[in-house]
Amino acid sequence: MQGWKFERDQRLIRGASGKSAYDQLLRSDPYMAELALGAVAQLLTVLGIQVMPYVVKGTLLLTANLAH
């Protein structure tokens, strides 16, 4: 029913520059580099919030078992 969207996306995909162009943009554009670092920091924050309770619980169990 909406084949035009598929056609549009195919043209966009064919015209994409690829990862090497993105890497070059990161090296040459300070704003893009700042955005990329911000995204990494955000990812690490989310992972830390989700994973840290398990790490703390595991560390407490490990230290309790090592103490005996």
**What local confidence, expressed as pLDDT, does residue 20 receive?**
87
- Specify the DSSP class assigned to residue 61: H
Strand ranges inside the chain, DSSP E: none
Dump pLDDT digits (tens) for 1-58.
788 888 888 888 887 788 888 888 889 999 999 999 999 999 999 999 999 999 999 9
List, in order, residues 6 or more apart from 26 with CB less than 8 Å away. 32, 33, 36
CA-based R_g, the chain, Å: 22
**What local confidence, expressed as pLDDT, does residue 59 receive?**
95
> Which of 13, 12, 7, 36 lies closest to 24, judged by CA?
36
